[in-house]
Structure 1
């Protein structure tokens, strides 16, 4: 994977960019002025980030794997330590599928019934490959989403969810919170040594 240079990233007009940001030269970014990137972020080949009015906010220590997409008019937030596996689709906008309205962005808005709603993904969330997250969903800190899941409703903290539509399966271990503390303490120690 070829990574864009820092100069190229800065020239793209992002709202903000942290340190150690690795963006594939094969990823696509639309409306960069509404996209904020934290530090230690990696976005792989063929990902699409298309920000609407709400924007996209990506925290620190985040990986977005190949072929994933974040799209829509509502705000999409990925909190620190998120892992978005390959082919995940996160939507903050969705057409009305009932037949009550027309669909697709080439039809004037007065004839469509697009739903726009924010999507929030908390710290330490992992989303499995091929999953779809719909507008208005909150996935609370530490939740895990199994591969090929459809997330239509909120997911509680440290819950494991899977299926179509996704259902609660079991509690997720919280050991990662202690590992986070050790990781941050080690970072601070390394910074003091420099």
Structure 2
């Protein structure tokens, strides 16, 4: 896998990006000036990033993810993980038949819904998961593979299905590991 150099990342024109950022040369970026990226982030091959996106620190976005944020925005807080082939939409056409769909149709014939999507700290999406406009994953939520999310998911819970339903509570043992990791990470960054 080939990643952009720090110099190349600056040339892309992100709003901001931190240290230890690895972004594959095989992704598509639309509106980099509206994107912020924290420290220790890796974005793998064949991803599409579009619109107002804020990516925290210690995040992995696996291959084949699509984030369509529009001007409404998508926010990934620290320690978020996206398995391969996830799709996140902060904006979407209305598929109920009340309007025409697609960017080739003038706005007056469309009904586009836009609502911010937020993934709080320690959330994880299983492969093939889709998040629709307004999805809000509270801290520590885990979503199983091939799930469909369109609402608020309660903290420290595991969800699965299409549409998602709660499966069980999620353990919080990772919080202690995160504290130790953060201390070690900060030590390692010192000159």
Report TM bin, short chain.
over 0.9
- Aligned counterpart, 1:69: 66
Structure 2 distance, partners of 1:36, 1:80, is 13
Corresponding residue of 1:30: 30
Structure 1 CA distance, aligned partners of 2:183 and 2:38? 19
Change (3 A) 1:191 1:40: closer
TM-score, L = length of structure 1? 0.95
Q: CA deviation at 1:187?
A: 3.0
User: Tell me, what secondary structure is at the counterpart of 1:22?
Assistant: strand
* Runs of 5+ unmatched residues, structure 2: none
Distance 1:33 1:188, change over 3 A: closer
1:183 Cα shift? Answer: 1.4
Q: 2:53–2:69: 8 Å Cα contact kept in structure 1?
A: no
TM-score of the pair, normalised by structure 2: 0.96
* Structure 1 vs Structure 2 CA RMSD: 1.1
Report how far residue 186 of structure 1 moved. Answer: 2.5
Larger strand share, 1 or 2: 2
SS in 2 for 1:56: strand
> Following superposition of structure 1 onto structure 2, how do residues 113-152 of structure 1 map, counting pairs within 5 Å?
113-152=111-150
Is the deviation greater in 60-69 or in 175-184? 175-184
The answer for unaligned runs of 5 or more in structure 1 is none
Q: Does residue 103 of the first structure (1) align with residue 93 of the second (2)?
A: no
Please report how far the alpha carbon of residue 171 of structure 1 lies from its aligned counterpart in structure 2 after TM superposition: 0.3
Q: How many residues align?
A: 190
Q: Any idea what SS the aligned residue of 1:165 has? A: coil
